[in-house]
Amino acid sequence: MKINTHYSCFLLLLSFFYLGLYSSKAQSKEAKSKPNIVIIYLDDLGYGDLSCYGATALQTPNIDALAKGGIRFTDGYATSATCTPSRYGMLTGQYPWRNKNAKILPGTAPLLLTTTQETIPKMLKKEGYQTAVIGKWHLGLGSGDTDWNKKITPGPNEVGFDESYIMAATQDRVPTVYIENGTVANLDANDPISVNYDTNFEGEPTALSNPELLKMKWDHGHNNSIVNGIPRIGFMKGGETAKWKDTDMASSFLTKAQNYVKTHKEKPFFLYYAMQQPHVPRTPSAQFAGKSGLGPRGDVILEADWCVGEFVKTLENEGILENTLIVFSSDNGPVLNDGYADDAVEKTGDHKPAGKLRGGKYSLFEGGTRVPFITYWKGKIKPGVSNAIVFQLDLLASFASLTGEQKIISDSKNYWPVLLGKSTKGRESLILEADGNTALRHENWFMIPPYNGAAFNKNVSTELGKSSEYQLYDLRNDVGQQQNLASSKKKELAKCIAIYNDLKGDE
């Protein structure tokens, strides 16, 4: 009897042992089947800015190669026509217009996300991913009144990223320093940084007081502190050794991204590689300066394309290209003059940054939010062009479905089969945002409700899409949104209004 009990205990233990072994084996197999995920995200790159989207004035062979070997979406959207809300929408899976603070932020703004909110990196972390952001952040840092000489928190590392190497806001906003895991990189403690968006620091030169120091001219805004001869938004003092070199920014982010890949390839990773081009100030490295013939804006697009090529080469050299899903897109539509007199307007020639679309950055028209959108996964995605509507808001739920996590509570929906080219049934309806206002894309219809205010922004020379009347466009026949059908297509308009109200949660 006694022996029997011992024996069955032994058997039980043995079976637990094997079960444990089996399940850990199953887990590691599962972990291996999870692809790395990289979002390559450009800043202000327009629908017409790439040769794979029809540009002829410049060639972007490396990004074209992703489009050729993956899916090029004709109807891919950012959530907003400006950066902060757009990135907020993509990373959280929540419509940015639900958060009234999701608008273009100054460099001193506190973190826009809450640390309890769901995010792509947080969700993937739960699924065993390593996570990192390299590049432009622009979602706020700290909890207000940040001391840039101490640990800056909360930030990316508190919303799901294990590692971060970022610029706080934009290339044209102070502080003009890189921040690595919450600490300003290369800061000399004897030369502390101070930042202020209201008042200058005594004795510090600005674009207005010392125009002779400028190497780049400003057109509107951008007349505060001067860094590297470039006038910025906001005032900054100190931090000399930490200041970035603008012409090196592309290679700084690229090198970090490449090193990340090299040092994290043993386990699945999520990398949000947020490049700064072609946002202002456009500062190509010597290798690309003057190369496009379109001025610095064209030059930095060539530079960004080169970075994409180098980055993909690294994935290939490290032997993980076939286990890496790449999503390539942009945060909002294009603009030529965004505050600096940098020849972008004068040299654009026949190049149309928004392609056939109307409007651009800041606009409710399609040029504001319809952007290049490419998915690439060597050997897994069958190459092609898709007209399905895809939306950056849906990346969260789509990635979740891929990795096994299904319980996503947000506006984000799973369109994984569409992103993979296995289905052409994209979103039917989505809400787009520009400067706090919203519009609806439903199937082939685009509806903009009436809004007061200027229809045109003279500074940036962009149609904003606002009108005191309802606007309804049939994108199937009129992708350039020239013909307002609101008064002739009453039934369709009523349907769009109903869907819009339903999505927005209004009466």
Query: Could you tell me if 261 and 215 are in contact, meaning their C-beta atoms sit under 8 angstroms apart?
Result: no
Residue 230, strand partner residues: 227
Span from 21-29, 45-53, 145-153, 220-228 in contact with ligand NG6 (CB under 6 A): 220-228
Report if residue 220 touches ligand NG6, rule: CB under 6 A.
yes
Q: Is 413 exposed, middle or buried (0-12, 13-18, 19+ CB in 10 A)?
A: middle
Residue 464, φ and ψ in degrees, nearest 5:
-90, -15
CB of 251 to ligand NG6, least distance (A): 21
| Residue in the shown chain whose Cβ atom is closest to Ca ion | 83
| Residue in the shown chain whose Cβ atom is closest to ligand NG6 | 221
167 binds, among ligand NG6, Ca ion, none (CB under 5 to 8 A by kind): none
Query: Could you tell me if 136 and 172 are in contact, meaning their C-beta atoms sit under 8 angstroms apart?
Result: no
CB of 167 to ligand NG6, least distance (A): 11
For 195: left if phi > 0, alpha if psi spans -120 to 50, otherwise beta; the answer is beta
Q: How far is CA 234 from the centre of its chain?
A: 23
Which is closer to ligand NG6, CB of 187 or CB of 216?
A: 216
The number of CA neighbours under 13 Å toward the Cβ of 388 is 22
Span from 17-25, 214-222, 310-318, 346-354 in contact with ligand NG6 (CB under 6 A): 214-222
Number of residues binding to ligand NG6, judged by CB under 6 A:
17
Which is closer to Ca ion, CB of 332 or CB of 403?
A: 332
CB of 135 to ligand NG6, least distance (A): 12
Q: Which of 51, 59, 65, 104 binds ligand NG6 (CB under 6 A)?
A: 104
Q: Which residues, other chains included, contact 105 with Cβ-Cβ below 8 Å and sequence gap of 6+?
A: 84, 112, 138, 139, 140, 169
Number of Cβ within a 10 Å radius of residue 201? 14
Amino acid symbol at 60: T
Binders in 338-377 for ligand NG6, by CB under 6 A: 338-339
Strands (E), 172-260: 178-180, 183-184, 194-196, 217-218, 226-227, 230-231, 235-237
Report if residue 233 touches ligand NG6, rule: CB under 6 A.
yes
Which is closer to ligand NG6, CB of 44 or CB of 342?
A: 44
Block residue for tokens 């629908």: 47
Report if residue 279 touches ligand NG6, rule: CB under 6 A.
yes
Which is closer to ligand NG6, CB of 333 or CB of 426?
A: 333
Q: Which of 75, 118, 163, 172 binds ligand NG6 (CB under 6 A)?
A: 172
Residues forming contacts to Ca ion in the complex (CB under 5 A) are 43-44, 83, 331-332
Which is closer to ligand NG6, CB of 458 or CB of 491?
A: 458
Which is closer to ligand NG6, CB of 109 or CB of 320?
A: 109
Which is closer to ligand NG6, CB of 339 or CB of 421?
A: 339
The number of CA neighbours under 13 Å toward the Cβ of 340 is 26
DSSP designation for 478: -
Which positions touch ligand NG6 (CB under 6 A)? 43-44, 82-83, 104, 138, 170, 172, 220-222, 233, 279-280, 332, 338-339
